[in-house]
């Protein structure tokens, strides 16, 4: 049986987001491969985690690209971001929760580029009067990502329907940060 790296990374991510201290044996078992096969693919835990981080950044960057965040009003752009992030919420979550990915220069730089793009949309929404001005743009941006991760966990645990998650996140977010007309 052929083992594809994408499946290994996805299954490892799903396990590590819930059990950050999982052993390589557990990761291999979750991916449906032997520990020896896992070690042939990734020299050790650090190499695996960095590969997960790189894949997560690719996935998140592609999601932001697919959301066409530069098109239309900010609230609509944020809805599209949430729609695109929900299927990859675990990859997004690993960027938040895996300590081994902190302070890795190439990962930090890539994350900063993604964060800056979404933050620019939020600032534009504030300038256009669509989003609240009394909340820092950086906090609203953080909320977008954090709510997507939280909803992803709820979907995985069966507490939230996959098809309802994007709308739930967008409504909660925009209900809190949207600017009401007086």
pLDDT in tens, 61-79: 999 999 999 999 999 999 9
Does pLDDT of 28 surpass 60?
yes
Q: What is the pLDDT of residue 4?
A: 87
- Which stretches of the chain are DSSP H helices? 5-18, 24-31, 35-41, 45-66, 74-85, 89-97, 105-127, 137-156, 165-177
Q: What is the pLDDT of residue 1?
A: 40
CB 8 within 8 A of CB 33: yes
Give the sign of the dihedral formed by CA 140, CA 144, CA 145, CA 146: positive
Instruction: State pTM to two decimals.
Output: 0.86
């Amino acid at each position: 049986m052929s083992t594809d790296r994408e499946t290994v990374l996805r299954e490892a991510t799903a396990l590590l987001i819930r059990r950050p201290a999982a052993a390589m044996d557990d990761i291999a078992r979750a991916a449906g491969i032997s520990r020896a096969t896992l070690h042939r693919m990734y020299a050790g835990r650090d190499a695996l985690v960095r590969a997960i981080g790189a894949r997560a950044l690719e996935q998140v960057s592609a999601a932001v690209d697919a959301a066409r965040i530069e098109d239309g009003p900010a609230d609509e752009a944020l809805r599209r971001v949430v729609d695109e992030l929900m299927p990859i919420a675990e990859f997004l979550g690993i960027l938040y929760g895996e300590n081994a990915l902190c302070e890795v220069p190439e990962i930090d730089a890539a994350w900063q580029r993604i964060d800056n793009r979404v933050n620019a949309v939020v600032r534009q929404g504030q300038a256009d009067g669509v989003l609240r001005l009394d909340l820092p743009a950086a906090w609203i941006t953080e909320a977008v990502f954090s709510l997507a991760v939280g909803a992803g966990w709820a979907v995985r645990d069966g507490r939230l329907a996959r098809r309802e998650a994007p709308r739930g996140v967008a409504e909660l977010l925009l209900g809190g940060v949207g600017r009401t007309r007086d």
